[in-house]
Amino acid sequence: MNCNPNPRLYVCGPDQSLVEVTPSIKWDLMVTGIRLTDRALEAAIELKRANQEFQHCVLRLYIDGKGCDGFYYGVTFTSTEKDDISVLDHPLAVVIDKKSLEFMAGSTVDWVDDTRGKGFLVSNPNHSKFRGKFYKRQSWQKKLSSSSQSLT
């Protein structure tokens, strides 16, 4: 696995476009508009510590699919990719691809262990915008088409 020592860092501009910025030494969880709760961060660090195969991996956030009720979100340990955007660098490397960031900006990643199950839970306040057949609108067809090509 190759780690990218200089991942690209983006912020959402006033018109919701992504603007590349030069990262500072201290990374801010909210730079990408994505927040990890303390529980999620602690759980990810513990999972990485407890699983030898995760030692050289980053935690990746991604879009796993789309249904009538919106997107399915994924969280996994994996290697870095060339165009990864850093969500967090320390104490754990967390990345996302540019297309997933377009749809996940503003989300919160939490860790749950309750009647719903045990694992990461992504809450997206913009999720309702992606329900139903929004993708039939021409502007969304273009975005989703380019997103699906970059995810394969």
CATH number at residue 85: 2.60.300.12
Q: Whole domain around residue 21: which residue ranges?
A: 9-151
Instruction: Please name the amino acid found at residue 118.
Output: K
Domain annotation covers residue 4: no
Cβ-Cβ contacts under 8 Å for 71 (sequence gap 6 or more): 63, 64, 65, 103, 104, 124, 127, 130
- pLDDT band for 4, please (50, 70, 90 cuts): very low
Domain annotation covers residue 3: no
Q: How many Cβ atoms from other residues are within 10 Å of residue 87's Cβ? A: 29
Domain annotation covers residue 2: no
Lowest mean pLDDT among 25-29, 46-50, 122-126, 129-133: 25-29
The count of domains in the chain is: 1
Q: Higher pLDDT residue, 15 or 4?
A: 15
Q: What is the pLDDT of residue 12?
A: 52
pLDDT digits (tens, 9 = 90+) for 64-94: 887 777 788 899 999 999 889 888 877 888 9
pTM of the model: 0.66
Does pLDDT of 31 surpass 70?
no
Q: How many Cβ atoms from other residues are within 10 Å of residue 104's Cβ? A: 24
Q: What is the pLDDT of residue 60?
A: 94
